[in-house]
A and B are shown apart, each in its own frame.
Chain A
Amino acid sequence: MPLRIFSILLLAASLMLILPTAWAADNVNIGIKTILASNDKQYQDPQLEGIIDELQTVFRFTAYRLLGQDRLSLATGETGNVSLPGGRVLSVTPTGSRGNRTQMDLGITKAGRRIFETRIELLNRGTITVGGPRHENGFLLLNITSE
């Protein structure tokens, strides 16, 4: 009897593990962290541990604050939108894959006007940071990771 219970539990665990993976195999999972970088009083958001060190190799901001965190699961050709501060909207559209990279279109619109559009090939589990839009007394950094 314990063997049967163990077997059933093992099967259930496998299904729980395999089914979401199989379902997600056709989708691209993308994590987006919206960060406000500024020269305010020194502050490093603990939720950005690991990211700030990497950003500090390029930027010289004194404060990094996580404003929002979003996760998109998109099929190829499907567009996901993320609301950004200042009435901006980030759109992400996976367009395919090549080797170990996911091809995707990134765009930012503000008040219905396209202010930024790029086509990239992002390494699987790789990260790209898009920055520049002003917000409050700092700048927005969009940390986009292919998960």
Chain B
Amino acid sequence: MKTPPRNKLCSTEQLSRFHDGELDARERRQVESHLPNCPSCRIVLEDFDRLGHLYRRQADQALAAVDMSALEQSLLTRMQQRGGASAGWRTWLKPTRLLIPVTVAALALVFFMIPRPFNSVPNGSAPSAIINSFTGSVTSVMLFETPNTHQTIIWFKEDSTANGENDAVENL
């Protein structure tokens, strides 16, 4: 196995990665085999250990100084204030959320309830119905149009009812 140059094994970066457990198995074995023969690297690693202990101790002291219950209470209060504020906006916005559909509904109601003369009963001179074709077993057919509303009337005599035809004619 080729041994890496000494200066690489002794580099602070390599030792730092070794200290933090970031080296792969091969690199770790190389450093481990190098350390018994290199006092300077052992000193560097001891410095890393001391530095780590010092950092953790400082962090523990800082955390111990924090009043967690007060912090929790502060966060809860802030969340409630934020929730209350957005709820207030939602309450304020509720009527406007309905504004568009209500406006559309109102317009639709107006549209459907306004009397539309163009759709009213026709009272022009046009007949109410145009007869395009007429077939059947009838003896006669008469077409009339009422004078007032120009309502079309079809009067026919059934072929099978010969009796009473005169009556029918008399009533026209």
Question: What residues of chain A have their CB less than 8 Å away from a CB belonging to chain B?
Answer: 3-4, 7-8, 10-11, 13-15, 17-18, 21, 37, 39, 54-55, 57-61, 100-101, 103, 108, 110, 113-134, 139
Contacts and interface: CB of A to CB of B under 8 A. Distances in A.
Given A123-B128, A126-B122, A13 B154 contact: no
Interface of B: 94-95, 98, 101-102, 104-106, 108-109, 112, 119-122, 126, 128-138, 144, 146-149, 151-161, 164, 167-168, 170-172
B140 to A, nearest CB: 9
Contacts of A8: 98
A103 B126 CA distance: 16
B5 to A, nearest CB: 80
Given A131-B155, A139-B168, 15 more contacts: A4-B94, A4-B98, A13-B109, A14-B106, A118-B132, A118-B134, A119-B133, A125-B119, A125-B120, A126-B121, A129-B154, A131-B154, A132-B154, A132-B156, A132-B168
Contacts of B137: 113-116
A58 B149 contact: no
Given A115-B158, A116-B138, A128 B102 contact: no
B128 A127 contact: yes
A11 to B, nearest CB: 5
Nearest to B152: A128
Contacts of B134: 117-119
Contacts of B106: 10, 14
Contacts of B157: 132
A127 B133 CA distance: 18
A134 B161 contact: yes
Q: Which of B94, B146, B153, B160 has the most CB of A within 10 A?
A: B153
B129 to A, nearest CB: 4
A129 B153 contact: yes
A128 B126 contact: no
A106 B39 CA distance: 115
B94 A54 contact: no
